[in-house]
Structure 1
């Protein structure tokens, strides 16, 4: 990787993290010169990073004015909730009973880790663990296309979980209980029960009633 590519990657990683964790909130106008000074880089890698973030839909660049940080509107959030429910439920349905049992055994320990970081008030740590937890359901199917689709949505998931930070901490006991219930349904090889709990869990987390969606 060349020096310019390395600088662009550093700029992209820093700006992406700032958008996802709420440091750069929706509606904020980011200036190229100010970002360059803040990151200790020239304007060229910052410009490249902003172009990449615009391609991904996180910002809108206005020439000579700056880059406006975009959020997710209600329809975006509902679409994400629907997509996650479809991906995770479908993947679990398509794997074998043996793989579901093995996954349940592994994820029980993962929920213990989630509970520990929540007890410490570590919101970023919990968000990374919960993104990985839900990814495991998709990964279990062994379908690379489904996994690719899931990974393309992961940053939106992170963005929403950070934006719901206070609410997330308030309902942490419920989230842990719901995660344990999902693992229990996997262990029992109860696919319909898993889908029903997942529908309620995702809907409650994102604030939408998903009972209309059947998977």
Structure 2
């Protein structure tokens, strides 16, 4: 990889991470010069990175003004919720008894770490823990295609959770209790109960929907 390609990739990763983790929230106007100074590169790789991020639907570039960070439309949030419900409930329903027992034990350790993250108000750590927690239900099916589909949603999930950081902290006890219920439903093989609990859990965490006035529901590249 030559220097310009490396700089462009570094700029892309830095800007993308800033969008996903809430440093650049929806509605923020990003400027090439400020980004270049912050990242430590020239404006050319920043311009390349912004073009790539626009293709992925994260921003809209306005010539001579900057790049506007997009939010998730109500439709996009609803679609994400629906897709996660299908993937995770399918994964949990297909797990055998031995896998369920092993996974339940591992997820209880995750819940303990989540509780500690909430205690220290470390939203960033909780979000990464909960993304891995929910991924485990899909992984339990042993289906690589389902897991690939799930992983393609991780950036949207991360973006949405960071946009709801205050809500997560306000619901911390409820979230931990809901995660514990999901693990118990999984352990006992209660597929219908797991699906019902997951549906309510997602609805509680995703509502009220993000409404920024900018639509991204038609994006299909991620």
Alignment of 1:79-90 (within 5 A): 79-90=79-90
1:106-129 C-alpha deviation (Å, 9 max, x unpaired): 111111111011101100000000
**How many angstroms apart in 2 are the aligned matches of 1:105 and 1:40?**
44
Q: Which residue of 1 aligns with 2:211?
A: none
Q: Which residue of 2 aligns with 1:132?
A: 132
C-alpha contact 1:178 1:201 (8 A) present in aligned 2? yes
**How many angstroms apart in 2 are the aligned matches of 1:20 and 1:135?**
18
Q: Which residue of 2 aligns with 1:76?
A: 76
**Structure 2 portions without partners, runs of 5+:** 209-222
Q: Which residue of 2 aligns with 1:94?
A: 94
**How many angstroms apart in 2 are the aligned matches of 1:149 and 1:57?**
18
Count matched residues: 208
**How many angstroms apart in 2 are the aligned matches of 1:102 and 1:48?**
45
1:84-135 C-alpha deviation (Å, 9 max, x unpaired): 1011111112232221221111111111111011101100000000001001
Per-residue deviation, 1:198: 0.5
- 3-state SS in 2 of match to 1:57: coil
C-alpha contact 1:92 1:137 (8 A) present in aligned 2? yes
1:30 and 2:8 are equivalent in the alignment = no
Calculate the TM-score normalised by the size of structure 2: 0.89
Per-residue deviation, 1:22: 2.1
Calculate the TM-score normalised by the size of structure 1: 0.92
- 3-state SS in 2 of match to 1:67: strand
1:51-76 C-alpha deviation (Å, 9 max, x unpaired): 22112210112333321110012111
C-alpha contact 1:101 1:189 (8 A) present in aligned 2? no
Alignment of 1:103-118 (within 5 A): 103-118=103-118
C-alpha contact 1:88 1:138 (8 A) present in aligned 2? yes
C-alpha contact 2:93 2:189 (8 A) present in aligned 1? no
**How many angstroms apart in 2 are the aligned matches of 1:100 and 1:143?**
15
**How many angstroms apart in 1 are the aligned matches of 2:179 and 2:99?**
18
- Superposed CA RMSD in Å reads 1.4
- 3-state SS in 2 of match to 1:71: coil
